[in-house]
Each structure stands twice: as C-alpha cells, then as structure tokens.
Chain A
Amino acid sequence: MSALTDPTNSDSAQTRRAIPDRLGTPFTRILASWEVLLLIVAVVIFIANAFASPYFLNAWNLSDATFNFTEKALIAFAMALLIIAGEIDLSVAAIIALASTAMGAAAQMGLGTPALVLIGVGTGLACGAVNGFLVSGLKLPSIVVTIGTMSLFRGLSYMVLGDKAYGGYPASFAYFGQGYVVWVFSFEFALFAVAAVVFAVLLHATNFGRQVYVIGNNPFAARFSGVPVERVKFILFLLTGLMSGIAAVCLTSRLGSTRPSIAQGWELEVVTMVVLGGISILGGSGTIGGVVIAAFVMGLVTFGLGLLNVPGIVMSIFIGLLLIITIALPIVARRMKGRSLR
C-alpha cells in the first residue's frame, strides 16, 4: 500500500506515518458477522427440515417453498433501503390490497394483461408517492404517516369490494405468479434474483446508496454535506411503493383473485425479514446480502412448519417472536459489550 503514496508528496509522506487503506479483516470477525451466522442458521434449518419431513428434499417442493418469500422479499429489498435511511413504510401490505383491487376492477372492465400490470405497478407508485410526499414534503414521521396510509389504502379496498372478491383475470395474467422460466425456477424466483442484484448494486455500488447510508447514520451531516436528504427519502418511498405494486401483480396472479384482506399482516413479515437480515432498525447499517439470506430462512421456516402441519396462528406467534428477538439481539449485545469495556 505504501507504494500508492502520492509522488508529489513523497518527502512529507516519509516524515509522516503512512495510513493503510484498510485493516485486514480478521477471519474471526468475518465468521462472527451477522450474514455468516444467518447462513449457518439457514443451513441448519434446511437440514432439520430434510430430517423432519420426507417430502422436503424434492426439487418441486423446494421450488414451492420459494413462493413463501419471493413476493415479500421483493418489498423487503426496498424496505431495507428505507430502514437504513432511518424511515419505515408500514403501508406496504395495504398498497398490495389497493393495487390488487385496482387490477381486479380493471379486469372486470375487460382490460388485457399488459394494462393490468401497468395499473398494479402504477397504483403502487402512486401510493409510494403519497407516503413520500407526506414524509419528505411535509416532514411528518414515517411511522405515523404509514400507519395512517395503511388504514387508508386498505380501507379504500374494503370500500370497493366489501365482502365480495374480484376474479376473472385473463389466462395470460397467471404467468407472473404461476409461470416457470426454466425447470423448477419460477418467474417469481427469477424476479427475486434479479431484484436482489439490482438492489445490491444500488445500495452498495452507487452514490445514491452511499447517500442512503449517510442519511441513516447522520441526517444533519448528510444535509450539511450537500446530500438532497428529502429527495432521497422521496425516491425510497417511491421505490417501496413500486416494489409493493410488483408484489401485488405476482400475488394476485398467483391467487387468481382479489379480496380486500389480501396480504393481511405482510408489513410485519417484511419488516421482520429486513431486520432478520441484519439491517439495523435504528438505521445506518446492513446489507442486501443479509436480506437475501433472511428471505431464505423465513421461507424455509414457514415451509417446514407447514409440512409439519403447524397452524397459522402459531406461525404468527413465531414471526412476532422472531421480530422482537432479532431487534433486541444486536442492541442487547452492544450494551453488554459496552458494559464489559467499562
């Protein structure tokens, strides 16, 4: 590294201590990283599932298992960026309901698949814009704003549908939730993989991603450094709305019908996935890689519990516990570490 020192500055560089670019990361620290621990958990659950049920180790069964997380993970990637920037969107499941209702209504009018997709994605974007405007335009706290819009968006869906359901989607619309690209790999899984790469690049390799981290770590310093804080936040809400709209297309296509209770409680599972993936709920840190592994872990767990005929209520309890434990764990661990230093 010392060869890199600026030649024009060589005399002063010799008198001053050279600072290395990076410290070599000790192997133990890599091993102890959240992502690696999570990967170990995923492998353990995988093996446990294989022993617990003779039907688990079957390519088609495993492919089915991915549907437990692909739609939620699409939203979780965008949510990860939002939480890193210190905000949150609890209206994502309600956006799915509204987008799905809009698509259902359009299908009733006889619109074709491309129009339906545009309407679903467009509704998601519009909802994201509403959240974004309220948070970054009016500077309201996102947790309150999105609890409000959660109720608002799903309320609109209930108003339109009541206790009825929309069905009658065109046959070609089924591809997004039921189609396969090659062999056991579904369209949803392919979309999940592409979205993972796109969001990983966006967060970890672009100026935009760096600004997201800075905003989450210190919004004042971000503003004082010329980062357009409010614009970045608006874009993040727009992205989350967009991904919710895409998830709505996939889910509606997979179910083939729309009820206002569609995707009920998903905001909780999406946030759990993000936090389980090592994104700090306090903002400022975490990786997309962690969210990808967390998606697999949650998919494997719910699928495994399903194979064992565990009822849905127990799963809900499990998800709730998982969320609390994963939020508490790093915070308590840091506090204990701080105490031992004292």
Chain B
Amino acid sequence: MTTALRQPAVDMAAPRLEMRGISKIFPGIKALDRVNIALKAGEVTALIGENGAGKSTLVKILTGIYQPDEGEILLDSQPVTFTNAQGAIDAGVTAIHQETVLFDDLTVGENIYLGHAPRTRFGLIDWKTMNTKAASLLQALETEIDPAMRLRDLSIAQRHLVAIARALSVESGIVIMDEPTAALSRKEIDDLFRIVTRLKAQGKAILFISHKFDEVYEIAENYVVFRDGQSVGAGQLADAGQNEIVRLMVGRDVAKAFPKVDVAIGRPVLTVENYCHETEYRDISFDLRRGEILGLYGLIGAGRSEICQSLFGISRPSSGRLTMDGKDLSIRSSADAIAAGIVYVPEERGRHGVALPMPIFQNMSLPSLSRTSRSGFLRAAEELKLSRTYAERLDLRAAALSVPVGTLSGGNQQKVVIGKWLATRPKVIILDEPTKGIDIGSKAAVHGFISELAAEGLSIIMISSELPEILGMSDRVLVMHEGLSAGLFERDQLNAETLVRAATGNMQGQE
C-alpha cells in the first residue's frame, strides 16, 4: 500500500476503487453530479438514497454499461476507463443485481459459467472442470446444490445463490450488490450476510445498495448517501445515527414510519374455510373483518401470493369454501372477484398491474369500464373524471392524465394501480408487497394511505416480507410456511421472534 499517502482520509489503506467527480447527464436530467465514492478492501460500503437519487446510474457506470461524462475512476490508484461491460469484468468488478437473469433450462454449472466456461484443448466446453469449479464455488457459499441440476428445479432462494456464485465465478476484487435482499426473506438474508462476511474476509471491496436501514447497519462499515444525483454525505456508520442518515437522504425529517391508526374493527367480511390447492397451499382458513389489516407473512414460496391470487380468481382452489357477508361466494375469474368487491394489487406492478404504454386514465378506468361506459360504448369524459378523482386523492404526479403510465416513476405507477382498484369501490383489497422497491419517503405515504383505507371500513390483506412493516401495520398476522398455516397471531402477540420462528417452521411445540 505504497499509495496510502495520496489519501487524505483517516484510514491507512488506500481504497481499492475510487470514483472522483463522476457526472452523467441524460437529456434534461443530470443523473449524477460530481459524485465521489471510495471502496476499501475488506469492507462493505453502503450506498443509500431514495429512488431516483442516482444509485442505479452509478452501478451502470461501475459495470461499464454507461460511460461517465466527467470525472475519473481509480482502480488501485490507477485511472481506468470501462468502455463496455467486459471491460469492467476484466478489471475485476462484478455485480449481483436485484433481479439477475438466469436460464431455467440450463444446468447450475452452465448458468454460473455462461460466457466464460473453461475450455478443453479443442475449444469445447470442459464440463468436468466446469462442474468441479462450480461445485467448489457453491460449497464456499455453504450450499449443497449439485452443479448438474437444471435451474428450474431449484427454489427461488437457491437460484439467488446461483446468481451470487455466477458473480463470484469471475476473478473479482470489487463486488457490487444492488438491492440483493429485495426478494429475500429474513432467513435467506441471514445466509446472504454470512456470505458477505466471508467475502469481506477474502479482502474484497463491497458496494452494498439497500433501502433497509437495519440491514445496512448490520453489514456495512461505511456509508455514502446520494440525494438528487449528488453525494451529500459519507463516513463510517459507527459514527452516524439512523436519523442523521435519513435526514441526509431525504433532506428533511421523516415522520413516523408506520402511522397505523386504531380502527374499530367490525364483523367478518370475508371467511376462507379449508382452502386447498393441488400444489401451492393446503387447508388455509381465516376470516377478515371490516376495517382490519391482516398481515400475511412467510418466506418466499410459502404460498402467500398464491392463496391471494385464488381469492382474486387468477388460480382456482381445488377445494374449500369462501363466504362474503355470510353468503357463499364462488370466484371463477378476476371479473367475478372484482364484481364481489375483492381486488388485488400485484407485487410486480409493470408486469401484472398496468399496461405501461397506455394512458393513465385508460389504465385507471379499466376495471370500472362498466360504470364509465354506456351500453358498451366508451365515454372518455367519465373515464377522465373517475381518474381525476383518484389521481388527486393519491396525489399522483403526472404531466397529464393522457400520458402513458410507463413515463411515470415507480411510486407513481403504484398509485395508478392502487387508484384503479379503489375506483371499483372494493370491500376487500389485497396488497402484495405494497412497498417493495419504494424509497423511504414514499413508503411512509403508502403506509399512511393503507391506514386511511382501513379507517374508511375497507378490509385489507397485506402480504409483506418486511417484518417491520408486518409488525407496524397489521391488526392480526397469518403466517404461512410451505403452503400451510403456521399460526394466526393477534396484535398483542406480535413480535419479530415469534413470527420468524413460525415462518421458518420452528414452532417448538407451540400449537
């Protein structure tokens, strides 16, 4: 570390990687404005910022997908330029993305070594070496996945491990983790953090991007805060309190994160009895009362979304009984569910929630067309009126109601989805991971809004993988484990440990 003198920072070690004065300008937007960031070997640096603060742009520059308009990148104090993604890989920068693209029909080994598989002397893929190397990589991640297995036979958490193994299969000194925990449950996050700790011990410099403060404090040593494309603060997490970082991030104090208000809970609205599905869930029973927020907690793949999609008519239960307001209800399509007053805000907004190229008002009015139209003919004025009502109520930010939903930010797209369902005047609203991928400022707004809906007498089922959200918002929590009910907990029984134990199947004699 002969170059240590070049560094004015208190640490003796020079950063493995340093970005100085990096700017990136898109038409009309300065996505990054002279930001600085330094990653040290053997340490985790957390990159914190709201959506749109420039985190993704920075990752794309570091991985060679974008080229900066100004500034320099220093690798071991030597200036480097990454002209493309391969350039970044060659320099030893690797990234684990939030949603990594893997191939279902290839084996685990092939997925890990796709594009850089070891070759025999004849230039063919050296399967033996590849599988051996893949196996040792997976072993290093403390998992027993066979490299010869097809990816489609793995669970979601196992796939994630394969994605991590893929990122580590190239010789790399710098690892970027872009919201790696977004799709993971608590147990899987713990496993991931053990891996991160191991990588640290190997001397890798890690950039960790997350929305979740508890994780950041758990795993990272240093932080950099971005706001509106500028780096507004950096330092060691040990010296910084959470409030201080939140203030840096949003530029103001954030009100209480979970504005759950006490609502008088009424009689049961929806009763689910012995719901079964051939593969996804078995023997699920619960009731949902007026004004109640029922949390639905569990690991990924526990069957939470699946049971809710059955309630919404997307899939059909193999047996079971559903009653609403005491009357039997048969739901064979989502049209039936909407007519009965049950609506579902899906987890994947862009994929299931909206038609991105279509105007806001056409998306908003879609499930309410029977009300806005007259004998099958559209009435644009009625659609616009309906959309305006909910756009204003949700404080939607858009240039006009006729612009495509795809031009809006993620948070505003979510508002369009929620608005379109509220417009149907539902009795029961199912929210599947309502704040996934949403920054902290918008999160509080979404939570406030959920409370408001409950206060108006709506019944809410909220699927969430985030414990603080479940604990903060729910009146009762149904925990699911591998398709079975693992307990229904009242608000006064709620604590993190109980829920996690139920969700992971460690009931230890509790019944």
The answer to whether B366 and A210 have CB atoms under 8 Å apart is: yes
* Interfacial chain A residues near B333, Cβ < 8 Å: 226, 228
| B276 within 8 Å of A (CB atoms) | no
The answer to whether A226 and B335 have CB atoms under 8 Å apart is: yes
| B249 within 8 Å of A (CB atoms) | no
Distance, CA A341 to CA B351, complexed state (A):
24
Interface residue stretch chosen among B11-19, B370-378, B447-455: B370-378
The answer to whether B389 and A9 have CB atoms under 8 Å apart is: yes
The answer to whether B401 and A19 have CB atoms under 8 Å apart is: yes
Distance, CA A5 to CA B384, complexed state (A):
11
List residues of chain A with CB under 8 Å of any chain B CB. 4-6, 9, 12-13, 16-17, 19-23, 205-210, 213-214, 217-218, 220-228, 284-285, 341-342
| B266 within 8 Å of A (CB atoms) | no
| B186 within 8 Å of A (CB atoms) | no
* Interfacial chain B residues near A4, Cβ < 8 Å: 385, 388
Q: How far is the CB of A25 from chain B (nearest CB, A)?
A: 9
The answer to whether B384 and A21 have CB atoms under 8 Å apart is: yes
* Interfacial chain A residues near B370, Cβ < 8 Å: 207
Distance, CA A23 to CA B333, complexed state (A):
36
| B293 within 8 Å of A (CB atoms) | no
Q: How far is the CB of B291 from chain A (nearest CB, A)?
A: 23
Residue of A nearest to B396 (CB): A19
Q: What class of interface size applies to chain B in its complex with A? A: 35 or more
* Interfacial chain B residues near A206, Cβ < 8 Å: 373, 376-378
24 contacts between A and B (CB under 8 A): A4-B385, A5-B388, A9-B392, A13-B392, A17-B397, A19-B396, A21-B384, A21-B400, A21-B402, A22-B400, A205-B378, A206-B376, A207-B369, A207-B377, A208-B376, A214-B366, A217-B357, A217-B358, A225-B334, A225-B338, A226-B333, A226-B337, A284-B355, A284-B357
Q: How far is the CB of B17 from chain A (nearest CB, A)?
A: 24
| B314 within 8 Å of A (CB atoms) | yes
| B362 within 8 Å of A (CB atoms) | yes
* Interfacial chain B residues near A5, Cβ < 8 Å: 388, 392
| B353 within 8 Å of A (CB atoms) | yes
Kindly list 9 other residue pairs between chains A and B, CB separation below 8 angstroms, not including A19-B388, A205-B378, A284-B355.
A4-B388, A9-B393, A12-B392, A20-B400, A22-B401, A23-B399, A214-B355, A224-B344, A227-B335
The answer to whether B400 and A218 have CB atoms under 8 Å apart is: no
* Interfacial chain A residues near B138, Cβ < 8 Å: none
The answer to whether B369 and A19 have CB atoms under 8 Å apart is: no
Distance, CA A272 to CA B149, complexed state (A):
45
| B122 within 8 Å of A (CB atoms) | no
* Interfacial chain A residues near B377, Cβ < 8 Å: 205-207
* Interfacial chain B residues near A285, Cβ < 8 Å: 357
* Interfacial chain A residues near B397, Cβ < 8 Å: 17
Set A209, A227, A228, A341: member contacting B26, Cβ < 8 A:
A341
| B239 within 8 Å of A (CB atoms) | no
Q: Assuming A13-B392, A207-B378, is B357 touching A226 (CB within 8 A)?
A: no
| B27 within 8 Å of A (CB atoms) | yes
Q: Assuming A19-B391, A213-B358, A214-B355, is B401 touching A224 (CB within 8 A)?
A: no
* Interfacial chain B residues near A19, Cβ < 8 Å: 388, 391-392, 396, 398-401
| B256 within 8 Å of A (CB atoms) | no
Q: How far is the CB of B453 from chain A (nearest CB, A)?
A: 17
The answer to whether A21 and B401 have CB atoms under 8 Å apart is: yes
Q: How far is the CB of A299 from chain B (nearest CB, A)?
A: 31
* Interfacial chain B residues near A21, Cβ < 8 Å: 361, 384, 388, 400-402
* Interfacial chain A residues near B361, Cβ < 8 Å: 21
Set B338, B353, B398: member contacting A226, Cβ < 8 A:
B338
| B290 within 8 Å of A (CB atoms) | no
The answer to whether A20 and B378 have CB atoms under 8 Å apart is: no
| B494 within 8 Å of A (CB atoms) | no
Pick the most buried of A17, A214, A217, A284: most chain B CB atoms within 10 A of its CB: A217
| B395 within 8 Å of A (CB atoms) | yes
The answer to whether B366 and A225 have CB atoms under 8 Å apart is: yes
Distance, CA A208 to CA B369, complexed state (A):
10
Residue of B nearest to A341 (CB): B27
| B329 within 8 Å of A (CB atoms) | no
Set A6, A207, A224: member contacting B353, Cβ < 8 A:
A224
Q: Assuming A205-B377, A206-B376, is B351 touching A227 (CB within 8 A)?
A: no
Residue of A nearest to B359 (CB): A22
The answer to whether B388 and A218 have CB atoms under 8 Å apart is: no
Q: How far is the CB of B31 from chain A (nearest CB, A)?
A: 11
* Interfacial chain A residues near B6, Cβ < 8 Å: none
Residue of B nearest to A222 (CB): B355
Residue of A nearest to B402 (CB): A22
The answer to whether A16 and B392 have CB atoms under 8 Å apart is: yes
* Interfacial chain A residues near B402, Cβ < 8 Å: 21-23
Set A205, A207, A217, A224: member contacting B346, Cβ < 8 A:
A224
* Interfacial chain A residues near B420, Cβ < 8 Å: 225
| B352 within 8 Å of A (CB atoms) | yes
Q: How far is the CB of A220 from chain B (nearest CB, A)?
A: 5
